[in-house]
A = this chain, B = another copy of it.
Amino acid sequence: MSPNTTLGQQLPVLSEDVSSWKGASVLSVTQMTPGGLALVFEIAHQMRMMVQTQGADTRCQGKLLATVFYEASTRTACSFQAAMMRLGGNYLHVDGEGGNSSAAKKGESLTDTIRCLECYTDVTVLRHYIKGSVGTVIEAATKPVINAGDGVGEHPTQALLDVFTIYDELKLPLSAKATANSKPLTIVLLGDLKHGRTVHSLAKLLAKSHTAGVVLRYCAPDGLELPEEIQEYVAQFDHVLQETVTDLREACQQANILYVTRVQRERFESDEAYQAVKGSYVVDTELMQQVPSDMIVLHPLPRIDEIDPAVDSDPRAAYFREMENGMYVRMALLALVLGKV
């Protein structure tokens, strides 16, 4: 019995009806209807308002989250933990990589580990390095599990926070009904488009959900282009146009969003090859003077050299707001699956 076959049958569809979320596990954004997506965004927006005015509330008081990470991720783990605490709940953390996890050393299955932790907590956030592993756990789990990344598989909260940030920064309506009236978007995807899981999820989610029209402009060094299968998935939507543009300045013309990812030195055959392309893919204050005055710059972070810190103070640099939105989106998901909306 392959997990993939089974999963489709067992995973709930997550719609604009809040009751479809209560007690549900979240493996993938593909579970979400357009209305379900809009619901997450609306609640994330409310969470931001709440945090900015009062810091936290108590709707999840007495609720416990287990964050279980078999692959390190400071940002994702901390933002889920902070999200739970800002809802009035609390968490315990299991570092599956080494730290405090004795279970894995003793040969326990991942499913058993999570089923044990479920005995103590109300919801689990799980990251694992093996694609499909989180889905397998969800099949056996008795309480909600949220996928925080399963290897080269899905990382649904990252895609959600990216699209939320795009809509929010461009002041597009967040509600499902309004999205149909939304305006077309031009988005530049810059950097290592081959290995960046974040970029793959974002391209697919935008293509599927932004029916008002999307231009995706790919700007990647030789050999680091977006994989064929992602391009083919995107190509099935008539409202999406895909373009490949080598020059960054040219790519940014009329763009609404510049989404930057790391170009990792170790992906190049030689340091010369890296140095040769590096300069043309760096976002600095000079570039920012040549691009549209309302073009928003995003980055999933961490960054190395691809965005000069001097750009941070530019109002168009939205990557730290993007970080913050990650907490609001995760607050929305936790509140939804715990039935606390």
A46 at the interface (CB under 8 A from B): no
CB pair B72–A62 under 8 Å, yes or no, is no
CB pair B85–A117 under 8 Å, yes or no, is no
Tell whether A302 pairs with B106 under 8 Å between CB atoms, given A119-B320, A119-B327. yes
A246 at the interface (CB under 8 A from B): no
- B residues less than 8 Å from A62 (CB atoms): 54-57, 86, 88
Chain B: CB-nearest residue to A73: B102
CB pair B78–A85 under 8 Å, yes or no, is no
Report the minimum CB–CB distance from A45 to chain B (whole Å). Answer: 16
Contact pick for A64, options B85, B101, B119, B301, CB 8 Å: B85
Instruction: Place the interface of chain A in its size category.
Output: 35 or more
Interface string of A55-85 (1 = CB under 8 A from B): 1110001111010010111110111011101
CB pair B56–A75 under 8 Å, yes or no, is no
Tell whether A303 pairs with B112 under 8 Å between CB atoms, given A62-B54, A101-B72, A327-B120. yes
CB pair A304–B108 under 8 Å, yes or no, is yes
What is the copy number of this chain in the assembly? 3
CB pair A74–B113 under 8 Å, yes or no, is yes
Interface string of A307-331 (1 = CB under 8 A from B): 0010000000000100110110000
CA distance A189 to B232 in the complex (A): 58
- B residues less than 8 Å from A112 (CB atoms): 301-303, 309
CA distance A102 to B302 in the complex (A): 9
Contact pick for A323, options B55, B95, B99, B116, CB 8 Å: B116
A154 at the interface (CB under 8 A from B): no
CB pair A302–B56 under 8 Å, yes or no, is no
A162 at the interface (CB under 8 A from B): no
CA distance A71 to B72 in the complex (A): 18
A210 at the interface (CB under 8 A from B): no
Contact pick for A66, options B54, B78, B83, CB 8 Å: B78
In the A-B complex, the 5 residue pairs with the closest CB atoms: A56-B62, A108-B302, A72-B102, A82-B120, A119-B324
Q: Which residues from chain A sit less than 8 Å from chain B, CB to CB?
A: 54-57, 61-64, 66, 69, 71-75, 77-79, 81-83, 85-86, 88, 90, 92-95, 98-103, 105-109, 111-113, 115-117, 119-122, 262, 301-304, 309, 320, 323-324, 326-327
22 contacts between A and B (CB under 8 A): A56-B63, A62-B86, A71-B102, A72-B100, A72-B101, A72-B102, A72-B105, A74-B103, A74-B113, A74-B116, A78-B94, A79-B119, A81-B120, A82-B92, A82-B120, A95-B100, A103-B302, A106-B304, A116-B301, A116-B323, A119-B323, A120-B324
